[in-house]
């Protein structure tokens, strides 16, 4: 769950925005004063929504400056009743990702939050699920393999063997260990099933350097 920190001195507005954000699936923490927000910096926050004009002597500008001293990358959305172009430019120069003028549509705010979260975090998460081996593109989450943008269809066992080998490059696996890791510990079949599975995977992905260890098992070089 992503965490949103909302800094808004209009409590009624803050409560409604919090409700909408939580309905959208976000953990939402609210502050009405800039000093409270600054004191919270350093905790896990995935996106800040900052009102510029706050009730105390600490403005949203002060808060974003304190945020950027700790974290250059966390997204920030400014909200303000001030709609002058110079205010928007100054906010962007301080490192905000977006600027919304009050009164704003809360549904639009949530949409902008969704778009920023997707751009900043979810695309990175998707990239982290991709493994490149030679010219194979392996998506661990979707359990797909592509070579030069062409899909290679693997069975469940073939893909499980591929992942076992990829996660342990250079490690020698006995046939018994592969049986346990791919079929499961409750499998009591012949360990020659491993040889057949390796043969099928080699045929579909010939650039995989699966090395046979005579009398023992296999490893991925």
Give pLDDT tens digits for 177-219. 999 889 987 777 677 899 999 999 999 999 999 999 998 999 9
- Predicted confidence (pLDDT) at residue 153 exceeds the cutoff of 90: yes
CA 96 to chain CA centroid, Å, is: 21
What per-residue confidence (pLDDT) applies to 51? 93
Q: Domain spans of the chain? A: 3-128, 130-220
Tell me what the mean pLDDT of segment 151-167 comes to. 94
Peptide bond into 103 cis (omega under 30): yes
Per-residue pLDDT tens digits for 108-128: 999 999 999 988 887 665 666
- For domain 3-128, the CATH superfamily is Response regulator (3.40.50.2300)
Q: Was domain 130-220 assigned CATH 1.10.3300.10? A: no
Distance CA 183, CA 160 (A): 9
Q: At what angle do helices 11-23 and 106-117 cross, to 10 degrees?
A: 50
Query: Residues 139, 141, 144, 150: what is their CA dihedral angle, to the nearest 10 degrees?
Result: -50
Q: Is this prediction's pTM over 0.85?
A: no
Closest CA to 82 of 63, 104, 102, 66: 102
Question: Which of the four pLDDT bands, split at 50, 70 and 90, describes residue 142?
Answer: confident
> Residue for token digits 């303000």?
80
**Longest Cα pair distance anywhere in the chain, in angstroms?**
77
């Amino acid at each position: 769950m992503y965490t949103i920190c909302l800094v808004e001195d209009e409590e009624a507005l803050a409560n409604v925005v919090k409700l909408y954000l939580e309905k959208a699936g976000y953990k939402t923490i609210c502050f009405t004063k800039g000093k409270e927000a600054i004191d919270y910096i350093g905790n896990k926050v995935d996106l800040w929504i900052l009102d510029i004009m706050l009730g105390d002597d600490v403005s949203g500008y002060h808060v974003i400056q304190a945020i950027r001293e700790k974290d250059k990358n966390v997204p920030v959305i400014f909200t303000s009743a001030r709609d002058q172009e110079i205010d928007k430019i100054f906010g962007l120069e301080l490192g905000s990702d977006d600027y919304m003028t009050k009164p704003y549509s809360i549904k639009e705010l949530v949409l902008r939050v969704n778009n920023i979260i997707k751009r900043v975090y979810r695309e990175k998460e998707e990239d982290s699920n991709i493994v490149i081996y030679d010219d194979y593109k392996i998506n661990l989450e979707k359990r797909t393999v592509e070579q030069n943008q062409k899909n290679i269809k693997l069975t469940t066992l073939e893909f499980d063997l591929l992942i076992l080998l990829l996660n342990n490059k250079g490690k020698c696996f006995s046939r018994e260990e592969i049986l346990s890791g791919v079929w499961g510990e409750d499998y009591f079949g012949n360990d020659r099933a491993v040889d057949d599975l390796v043969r099928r995977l080699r045929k579909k992905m010939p650039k995989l350097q699966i090395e046979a260890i005579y009398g023992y098992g296999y490893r991925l070089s």
